[in-house]
Chain A
Amino acid sequence: MKENTAINAVQLRDVSFTWTGRSPFRLDIEDFSIASGETVLLLGESGSGKSTLLSLICGVIAPEQGDIQVGGTRLADLSSGARDQFRANHIGVIFQQFNLLSYATALDNVLLALHFAPERRGRIGNPRAEALRLTDALGLPDSLVINAPASALSVGQQQRVAVARALIGAPALIVADEPTSSLDADAQASFLDLLFAQAKEANSTLLMVSHDERLGARFDRLVDLGNVAHVERGQAA
């Protein structure tokens, strides 16, 4: 750990990444950071590279150049295996939809997050009880969580299971990629209430992606990707 400044939860410097293939896409980010404990809403139109940025932060893809730090750790310093382990231990991820392994129970889906994350596992006495505590707090009945395959849950319920999975073991950073876009307006509001409450309790930093500005009021900061990133698109072949 560096001694001088407060450590940012996320920090990108001079990062560039290119998707090669039929429609090449290049993303350059000069400087982007999120302070520890901050809640940030990342806006941007479809195809602007929001999900790509999240993949970079999570270390699922690696930049061609530049420096990405998460919680003070340089991802480039880690081997690919260590990066996977790091992601498991420090980042909770929520997708837009289809977050769960449909054949497994909600409980198994939540516990699976701990399987790869010994540090998160270490913070919890009884994983099963903790998983049920979280799903309870998120308003999911135990019987549904324990017995039913995830495919039997409604979309809203599945998203809440995904929140429980992202939060279990209190990772430092929660990354959510349009988690509410598959929900109707009412469900969106209650989903965000729950997400914020639980993220606060876990002291997690929250980075959420959306193209809906109206959600912005709850967040500490709104960032338009267009303002922090430079995008280049190749010719579609």
Chain B
Amino acid sequence: MIFLRLAIKSLISRRMTVGLTIFAIAMSVALFLGVEKVRTGAQASFADTISDTDLIVGARSGSVQLLLYSVFRIGNATNNVSWDSYQDIAARPEVDWIVPMSLGDSHRGYRVMGTTDAFFERYRYRGGRALDFANGGRFSDLFDTVLGADVASDLGYKLGDPIIVAHGLESFTEHDDKPFRVSGILAKTGTPVDRTVLISLEGIEAIHVDWQGGAQRPGRAVSADAVRAMDLTPSAITAALVGVKSRLQVFRLQREINEYPQEPLLAILPGVALQELWGIVGVAETALIGVSAMVIATALLGMAAMIFAGLNERRREMAILRALGAGHTTIVAMLLLEATLIATVSAALGTLLLYAGLWVARPYVDAAFGLYLPINAPTIHELGFLLAVVAAAAFVSLVPAIRAYRMSLAHGMTIRS
């Protein structure tokens, strides 16, 4: 134990260089753990975007593309699904429920989605959680709208506020003759629903009855009141979420939709498509992990360099120990112990830094990116990583240790400078 005590005192006596080294390693450890946390958090919240939906159906395109526009509101559908096909699918015996989605319009940068009340019942996220209303409720009128949490908070909308839907995603033409009214505001979900303006499928139809191409038909405008009397069954939708009665039927239904003779359609399994998409995003993630691992390696090499540079000044210390009867292995062990102590303190400090950082950044990250970073005890995986850092530190310190061994072999008890 006297050795541990002496090693600690020796480190303390060099507190400036040792302190900086510890800080560098601690920062790199915190960075690595942080990246890892963000990565797993992102992956989890990514995979949590949609759950309990068995199939997503859209016009034939790529599965990632379909997932992107139907779930993440990114990109566009190249084609629609005709209302007849939709009804055909809805009527199939395997189908338990189906939720239509009609996309294409926007409101001040947020996407507008036409759907039915079924969406509020059926859309699930984070392992089966249902949507909640923070305020108000579902559509009770043709021109009612329900806002996602971010839309409401970013644009400062309250219940009853009027909303004008713009035609298309980036156009300045607005359906300003048919304003909507906020009937409900959803609670925050951390999914793209937060950034969506929901209106009824009939609402979408209503604002488009008198439009053709990108503009209102001149002289044929239909007033908001008049449109209520019209048949507002849509002629097409963009995509649909499907739940089946028995999971065993998923693949058969998928195949039948994909081979639907009347129209080229695509049905995807959300989980598989999410994984495929994460595989693309994951390249960046791997690069990030790689970079933070390099940062750790750099910090550890810095430590080895520090110990190495200190050897010359410490020849006296080693000569004393040799004279007292310390063997060469004791000298090596002393330096390994030193590196291990440095790395252990660094790992502990790095973990502390991580938790402090998480604690400070979490509300911000959650608000800005909808990314929920859990603060929990270190996982086995993380503890293993910390252990690996300590082991790696001992390993790189073999370089100065072997040098010290050589020095103690080549010198007598006196120090020649």
Contacts and interface: CB of A to CB of B under 8 A. Distances in A.
A95 B327 CA distance: 19
Contacts of A84: 322, 325-327
Interface in A150-204: 165, 177
Interface string B328-359: 11100000000000000000000000000000
A61 B415 CA distance: 14
Nearest to A96: B414
A108 interface: yes
Contacts of B326: 84, 88, 116
B316 A98 contact: yes
A51 B319 CA distance: 13
A103 B9 contact: yes
A58 B412 CA distance: 9
Contacts of A81: 327, 329
Interface in B287-326: 316-317, 319-326
23 contacts: A60-B412, A61-B412, A80-B327, A84-B326, A84-B327, A88-B324, A89-B325, A95-B319, A95-B323, A99-B320, A101-B10, A101-B317, A102-B13, A103-B6, A103-B9, A103-B12, A104-B6, A104-B9, A111-B2, A112-B2, A116-B326, A149-B13, A177-B414
B416 to A, nearest CB: 9
A52 B10 CA distance: 29
Contact of B325 (A54, A88, A95, A111): A88
The secondary-structure label for the interface of chain A is helix
Given A55-B413, A98-B415, 20 more contacts: A51-B412, A54-B412, A54-B413, A55-B412, A58-B413, A60-B413, A84-B325, A87-B325, A93-B323, A95-B319, A99-B320, A100-B320, A104-B9, A108-B5, A108-B6, A112-B321, A112-B324, A116-B324, A116-B330, A149-B13
Nearest to A88: B325
Contacts, number: 81
A60 B320 contact: no
A10 interface: no
Interface string A57-80: 010110000000000000000001
A60 B6 contact: no
Contact count band on A: 20 to 34
Interface string A28-52: 0000000000000000000000011
Contacts of B320: 95, 98-101
A115 interface: yes
Contacts of A18: none
A81 to B, nearest CB: 5
A8 interface: no
Interface in A214-233: none
A103 B10 contact: yes
Interface in A110-127: 111-113, 115-117
A52 B323 contact: no
A51 B414 contact: yes
Given A51-B412, A54-B413, A177-B414, A113 B9 contact: no
A42 B321 CA distance: 24
Nearest to B323: A93
A17 B322 CA distance: 19
